[in-house]
Amino acid sequence: MSTTASKIDEVKTTAWAGGRSPFSVEYGKMMMWFFLLSDAFTFSSLLISYGALRFSSPSWPAPDLVFQSVPFLVEHGQPLVFVGIMTFILIMSSVTMVLAVEAGHRNSKKEVVSWMILTIIGGFMFLGCQALEWTHLHSEGFWWGHIPNSEELKEFFHKDTPVNAAYTQQFANLFFTITGFHGFHVFSGVVINIVITINVLLGTYQKRGSYLMIEKVGLYWHFVDLVWVFVFTFFYLV
């Protein structure tokens, strides 16, 4: 009996002797991945709902007509220009986040601060652009729960497409809900980045001997960037 018990204890202590444990992931990073996975399900359900409604409707507003302006500069004839600028800003902020993480691996406090500040600026610029776009669309009669009049409707449809107020309202509701939800994520990311940057300046992570927190925040920021690619595709291209 004692021989059997000793063999069991030996197996327990040498369970991973043949290689590296598959669970050797830092707890905080694993929890961030779990959060991002659950958040991905939320965005997926919203975009799938939009796609199902979009492709089951006989008439739908044309994105190249709805999003054809550069707010307060060009009113018509520039589809995808402004959203292209927004997308470029967000992608570049993701690049600066990568550089902040890389600097953190080298324990370079000064570089981490510089790249994090640029990332924060990029986030604020994206949010500013989104606010400008929303303001312009609202002035054009495109808003949550708003039923456009006949003159406003004509601006959102091609001449060979039947004009439909109900589908325009549904498109507007989904657009502002999903882009607003994404904008909330960007705003949350900016706030978190500010807090992390302050901690870097205070030397918190330098004292810990690790800038792993920058990497965790970076995962969230890259997720926000990736989600925007899908939002951009669904609303502005399809």
Structure-derived torsion over alpha carbons of residues 185, 56, 65, 159, reported in degrees to the nearest 10: -170
CA 110, CA 117: separation in Å to the nearest integer?
11
CA 112, CA 110: separation in Å to the nearest integer?
5
- Per DSSP, 233 falls in state I
Predicted pLDDT at 235: 94
| pTM for this entry | 0.87
Is the distance from CB of 129 to CB of 69 less than 8 angstroms?
no
Predicted pLDDT at 16: 47
pLDDT in tens, 27-78: 888 899 999 999 999 999 999 999 999 999 888 999 999 999 898 888 888 9
CA 200, CA 119: separation in Å to the nearest integer?
14
CA 197, CA 159: separation in Å to the nearest integer?
52
pLDDT band at 3 (very low <50, low <70, confident <90, very high): low
Mapping DSSP onto H, E and C, the string for 92-138 reads HHHHHHHHHHHHHHCCCHHHHHHHHHHHHHHHHHHHHHHHHHHHHHH
Percentage of the chain exceeding pLDDT 70: 90
pLDDT band at 11 (very low <50, low <70, confident <90, very high): very low
Predicted pLDDT at 139: 86
Predicted pLDDT at 4: 54
Structure-derived torsion over alpha carbons of residues 122, 126, 127, 133, reported in degrees to the nearest 10: 160
Predicted pLDDT at 21: 55
pLDDT band at 232 (very low <50, low <70, confident <90, very high): very high
Kindly give, in sequence order, each residue whose CB lies less than 8 Å from that of residue 225, ignoring residues fewer than 6 positions away: 90, 91, 93, 94
Q: Where are the beta strands (DSSP E) in 1-114?
A: none
Predicted pLDDT at 59: 87
Residue 9 confidence (pLDDT) above 80: no
pLDDT band at 161 (very low <50, low <70, confident <90, very high): confident
Residue 25 confidence (pLDDT) above 80: no
pLDDT band at 8 (very low <50, low <70, confident <90, very high): very low
CA of residue 148 relative to chain centroid, distance: 30
Helix (H) or strand (E) holding 220: helix 212-232
Highest mean pLDDT among 27-31, 126-130, 146-150: 126-130
Predicted pLDDT at 187: 98
